[in-house]
Amino acid sequence: MDFTIPEELKMVQTLVRDFVKEQLLPLEREVLGRESDLAGAMQRLTPETEEKLVKMVKDMGLWGVGIPEELGGVGLGTLGTCLVEEELAKTIIPFNFGDVTPILFDCNEEQKEHYLLPVIEGQKHPYLALIEPGKGIDPAAMELRAERVNSGYLLNGRKLSFSKVGTGDFAIVFAVTDPEGGIRDGVTCLLVDRDTPGFTVVGGEERTGWQAQVAEPVSLIFDNCRVPAEKVLGEEGKALYLGKKWLLSRRVVRGARVVGAAVRLLDVSTEHAKSWQSFGQAISTWPSVQAALADMAIDIHAARLMVYHAAWKADEGEDIHQEAAMVKVFADEMLYRVADRAVQIRGGPAPAGELPLERLCRNIVARSAGQNALEVQRAIITEDVLKLRG
Amino acid sequence: MPLRVQRDVKEIEAVLHEILSTASPPVARCRLLSSGFSAGHALDITEDLAGVKACLGCGNCIDICPVLVREPRRRERTEQRTSMALENLVDEDCDRCYACVLVCPQVDTTIKHYIVNRRMIEVMSRIQERIGDEGEPDLDLFLEEALS
């Protein structure tokens, strides 16, 4: 058993750590707002700043860390991607090293040229149109229909997308083509260009100040929108099999992001505990605060080991269904515990001076919107437990 | 000692088919279709039990039932370990895996052979369908993708 991180991945980890420290952390104040009323707060970086950072990452040779080499990415594998994402998650700055949804990895040659490669290069940005207002992604409840017409499809319905506002050049749309087909055969994925007649994007305006803390989804409206058949991504009816080879390891990568955020919470808490005086001594000398810091460290260590193990297994080509489910359940619940302790150590609502803590906690609550299915993960784990022990 | 003369499945195939096609533990009815104790069953009692088809209460069917393994709380409703208890505990939720029939000491071997030879492929496919295709899409992965 060897727990050593390979040398080349350690180098990447150090590079990213330095990049976060030198380039991203100094931007936090700018993103969070300079005044106590948060009048200058932003949801995103300015395009100029982002462009500059993207160029730096490309120069470092790390743009597209999670994208397979054969598709033009760095191809670091799951463990390498986890190490990078863990470092990036230590800051609240919304920036990544060329994160592309693996759903697009199943593009055919023509679609690759037109969609995937420009997305990898950062020249195009997709709207992921999967969720419907009040419906989630259950195909049985999905209302957006793609009706077969001459040499194409007619789209009618509405989707929500949490993709970056205003920059979407096309939408990756999941639509029902066969209501009887269910999740196996009934949903088709279509690539719809922004300028296609009948396709409009509304809402999701960028806000400033306190409102910048709230990421509002954009609404994608399809009104008799005609899409040619060659825009089908993958096979008709098989949309929910897209990206199958890569999607599960993304769950582990998300676990790494959680670990990174928890590490930052521990750092913020430790710094505060050492510097805040009470009754003439730093609160870090109080046994209760020490115990809280220790519990945070234990939680983070356990989650990190789970993430690295699952990532290593994924890179070995082994099945990680159970491990990925365990990572999701444990890491997400761990982050809540760590955030709760961080707030307890802080001893009250985070004021302007401690905005990273405040934003990190808000991000955690926002994350929980996607965590409504932890019980599903528990069911996946239990299925294996019963098979092994039953 | 003569061997127990067991039921020839050809005589009961129609009713057996119906029993095995019903979503309810089939062990008790298979037992009643069987030939009961043989004279060779040595029990320390004076009564002549030959031909008696009663449940022995051995509990094999209770222990083997996958529904009760998945949902052990169902067992809390009774301490009985008879085929009647199994029917009450499982009722229409029966997986129709026929494991209860195969482990019952009172069911004729001929009936067990019939199940293994004629019904097991169907059982396997039904259980596979229940578990779900291993490659079936995980909607939650897509939801995470959309929200992250």
Cβ contact A173:A225 at 8 Å = no
- Would you call B71 an interface residue with chain A, using a CB distance cutoff of 8 Å? no
Name the residue among A377, A290, A291 with its Cα closest to residue A332.
A377
Q: Is residue B112 situated within a structural domain?
A: yes
Residue A1, domain member (yes or no): no
pTM: 0.71
Structural domain tally of chain B?
1
* CATH code of the domain containing A48: 1.10.540.10
Backbone angles phi, psi at A23, to 5 degrees: -105, -40
Q: How confident is the model at residue A31 (pLDDT cuts 50, 70, 90)?
A: confident
d(CA B63, CA A311) in angstroms, rounded, equals: 39
Q: Does A320 touch chain B (CB under 8 A)?
A: no
Q: Please indicate, yes or no, whether residues A185 and A125 belong to a single structural domain of this protein.
A: yes
Residues A49, A159 within the same domain: no
At residue A166, φ and ψ (nearest 5 deg) are: 80, -10
Q: Which residues of B touch A240 (CB under 8 A)?
A: 137, 139, 142
Q: Which range of residues forms the domain containing residue B43?
A: 9-117
CATH code of the domain in which A217 resides: 2.40.110.10
Q: Do A52 and A88 belong to one domain? A: yes
Q: For chain A, what's the residue count?
A: 390
Q: What value of ipTM does the predicted structure carry?
A: 0.78
* Residue A293 Cα distances to A283, A359, A363, B47, angstroms: 11, 20, 21, 75
- Residues A108-123 have pLDDT tens digits of 999 999 999 999 988 8
Question: Does one domain contain both A166 and A55?
Answer: no
Which residues 61-120 in chain A show a CB within 8 A of chain B? Answer: 101-103
Q: Specify the 3-state DSSP secondary structure of A208.
A: strand
The answer as to whether A369 is a domain residue is yes
Q: Are residues A52 and A141 in the same domain?
A: no
Q: Which residue in A162, A251, A369 is closest to B141 by CB distance?
A: A251
CA angle centred on A147, ends A141 and A148, rounded to 5°: 140
Cβ–Cβ below 8 Å for A247 and B141: yes
The predicted structure's pLDDT at residue A155: 95
**Which residue matches tokens 């808490």?**
A269
**Residues A273 and A211 both lie in one domain:** no
Query: What is the per-residue pLDDT for A355?
Result: 62
CB A131 within 8 A of CB A160: yes
For residues B78 and B34, the answer to whether their CB atoms sit within 8 Å is: no
Residue B47 domain-assigned? yes
Q: Which domain holds residue A30?
A: 7-106
Same domain, A144 and A221: yes
The answer to whether residue B144 is domain-embedded is: no
Tens of pLDDT, residues A170-226: 999 999 998 888 778 889 999 999 999 999 988 766 655 554 555 567 889 999 999
A330-353 pLDDT, tens digit per residue, is 998 898 899 889 988 887 555 545
Backbone angle region of A85, left / alpha / beta, with phi > 0 → left and psi within -120 to 50 → alpha:
alpha
pLDDT one-digit tens code per residue, B39-75: 666 666 777 778 888 898 888 999 888 888 777 778 8
Contact call for B137 and A101, based on CB within 8 A: no
How many domains does chain A contain in total?
3
Same domain, A252 and A356: yes
Residue A115, domain member (yes or no):
no
Cβ pair A323, A310 in contact under 8 A: yes
Q: What is the per-residue DSSP string for B26-83?
A: -HHHHHHHS----TT---S-SS--TT--------HHHHH-HHHHH-GGGGGG----SH
Tell me the C-alpha distance between B47 and A335, whole Å.
69
Please indicate if any CB of chain A lies within 8 Å of the CB of B148: yes
Q: What tokens were used for A37?
A: 């009323």
pLDDT score of A35: 47
In chain B, the largest separation of any two C-alpha atoms, in whole Å, equals 75
| Mean pLDDT score across all residues of chain A | 85
Range with the poorest average pLDDT among A36-40, A77-81, A128-132, A209-213? A209-213
